[in-house]
Amino acid sequence: MAVSTIYSTQALNSTHFLTSSSSSKQVFLYRRQPQTNRRFNTLITCAQETIVIGLAADSGCGKSTFMRRLTSVFGGAAKPPKGGNPDSNTLISDTTTVICLDDYHSLDRYGRKEQKVTALDPRANDFDLMYEQVKALKSGVAVEKPIYNHVTGLLDPPELIQPPKILVIEGLHPMFDERVRDLLDFSIYLDISNEVKFAWKIQRDMAERGHSLESIKASIEARKPDFDAFIDPQKQYADAVIEVLPTTLIPDDNEGKVLRVRLIMKEGVKYFSPVYLFDEGSTISWIPCGRKLTCSYPGIKFNYEPDSYFDHEVSVLEMDGQFDRLDELIYVESHLSNLSTKFYGEVTQQMLKHADFPGSNNGTGLFQTIVGLKIRDLYEQLIANKATARAEAKA
Amino acid sequence: MMVITATAKYKGTKMREEKLSEMIEEKVKEATEVCEAEERLEECRVAWDEVEEVSQARADLRIKLKLLNHDPLESFCQENPETDECRIYED
């Protein structure tokens, strides 16, 4: 959020005057009450509040569909910056800017080859620059951010990023550096299990003539040591972890199409109230399919329980299976609490908006959507809180 | 005017698609060779990481075109329609 400095000066004859702070991005309007001697300072800052969300995952910045769901909740479609580098990784909507952390690579593809360092390695990334720029954006200052070009593997000339209302930093290392972590208002870690990762990469790559089952497997294995050393440990810092596992509903399923997804929510996070089923803090096992709701194979199974995750108290909401019909989705939504929706059916509506995206019929889409609503809620609470604080600070 | 298409609209995007597919092929070959030598462990990891990078980039482009109906060159080509990259791709 923007830090505002208040100047009080003696105005002689004027009833209104303007002054600006030394950080040069804020303008203050002062009005002196003519009838009384009491000075009435009306603070108007040009700098808006910016919240910063961190999203960690292995699939780099390609989570276009996750981002779409997230930004869709805030309103507006996220698009690449107009007229800029066509290989830019940035997405901008009315309220949100999504930055790809690959842009902070200190080593391009050639540099990494030469230094024998993968992109997962912290040595390939400039955390000082990442911290400086995220901090600047958070305090309302625009930055010239480098662009890492995934096609050429080179660092392209920078693009200008204006401070948005909601800044999302996504990539491999949003929570790696402690200074950057401290700037995050909320953080998410997308934790894909090895079996699901393998199944997804097969789906992703098998159509490519360069790939085979062996090459896909070899690539995952070769990246695993760096992944385990540098990326995976970040999940302990996340406010929400979306864990994606193989389903338990189909024995020996290895297609990765039916999924068991767990939303692990940290307790005690400011402005974040975990979603729950029926009774907060209790343990619930729920199969919605039965007399009132008919589901097709393999059905849907929910679990909710308190737990401990890396020494933190968490609440875990789990969905195994898939939605086949709209009424299944709305039925489930009507039984969940603390969703932070603005109207009944908002989750279902958001899911339907992106019905063609992967994960739309299972927990991945559902929990991504819910996380989006939680972030919106967090943002609105934070703004309301700041407004109250400012109103109370009036002389 | 919105053209619903599952493939690249502009020549530049088609070129990127092909380039990425070629790079995947090349880099898989390279990684397979490099990894044959046990003492080149670090290089082996880097080589497969490159494969992952280009594979993901290729997949992202496919998602943009198929799911999001957005050609990444759209905005650039509105401003620069006369460039070679911005010629409409004919199948």
CATH code of the domain covering residue A146:
3.40.50.300
pLDDT on residue A6: 40
Residues sharing a CB contact under 8 Å with residue A114, sequence separation 6 or more, in sequence order: none
Largest Cα–Cα distance of chain B, in whole Å? 57
> What DSSP character marks residue A29?
E
Task: Considering only residues A30 and A165, tell me which one the structure prediction assigns the higher pLDDT.
Answer: A165
Instruction: Give me B60's structure tokens.
Output: 């992202």
What is the domain range of residue A268? 239-376
Contacts 24+ apart (CB under 8 A), A129-132: A129/A104, A130/A101, A130/A104, A130/A169, A130/A173, A130/A177, A130/A180, A131/A177, A131/A179, A131/A180, A131/A183
A44 inside domain: no
Q: Is A208 within 8 Å of B54 when comparing Cβ atoms?
A: no
Identify the H or E element spanning A279.
none
pLDDT on residue A331: 94
Q: Does B39 touch chain A (CB under 8 A)?
A: no
Residues A58 and A184 both lie in one domain? yes
Residue type, A173: H
Is 70 exceeded by the pLDDT of residue A35? no
Is 80 exceeded by the pLDDT of residue A22? no
A202 inside domain: no
Residues sharing a CB contact under 8 Å with residue A127, sequence separation 6 or more, in sequence order: A104, A173, A176, A177, A179, A180
Q: Does A251 touch chain B (CB under 8 A)?
A: no
Q: Which among A82, A116, A208 has CB closest to B24?
A: A208
Residues A260 and A145 both lie in one domain? no
Sign of CA dihedral A348, A350, A356, A360: negative
Pairs across A and B, CB distance < 8 A: 120
Q: Does B60 touch chain A (CB under 8 A)?
A: yes
Residues sharing a CB contact under 8 Å with residue A81, sequence separation 6 or more, in sequence order: A88, A90, A92, A159, B75
A362 inside domain: yes
pLDDT on residue A183: 97
pLDDT on residue A147: 97
Distance from CA of B79 to the nearest CA of A (A): 7
pLDDT on residue B63: 83
Residues A307 and A184 both lie in one domain? no
Tell me the Cα Rg of chain A.
Answer: 24
The interface pTM score, or ipTM, of the predicted complex is 0.89
* Tokens 């046990």, residue located: B38
Number of domains within chain A: 2
Task: Point out the domain boundary residue: A189, A212, A247.
Answer: A189
Beta pairing class for A39-42 and A27-32: antiparallel
Q: How confident is the model at residue A81 (pLDDT cuts 50, 70, 90)?
A: confident
Beta pairing class for A51-56 and A186-192: parallel
- What's the rounded Cα separation, in Å, for the pair A73 and B44? 42
pLDDT on residue A252: 80
Q: Does A62 touch chain B (CB under 8 A)?
A: yes
pLDDT digits (tens, 9 = 90+) for A352-373: 999 988 899 999 999 999 999 9
Sort out which chain B residues have CB atoms less than 8 A from A120's CB and list them. 49
Instruction: Give me A47's structure tokens.
Output: 């700098």
Sort out which chain B residues have CB atoms less than 8 A from A119's CB and list them. 49, 53
- How high is the mean pLDDT of chain A? 87
A35 inside domain: no
Sort out which chain A residues have CB atoms less than 8 A from B60's CB and list them. 61-62, 64, 150
Q: Give residue limits of the domains in chain B.
A: 15-65
pLDDT digits (tens, 9 = 90+) for A191-204: 999 999 999 999 99
Q: Comparing A149-158, A176-185, A186-195, B65-74, which segment has the lowest mean pLDDT?
A: B65-74
- What's the rounded Cα separation, in Å, for the pair A131 and A123? 15
Does A246 sit behind a cis peptide bond, omega within 30 degrees of 0 on the bond before it? no
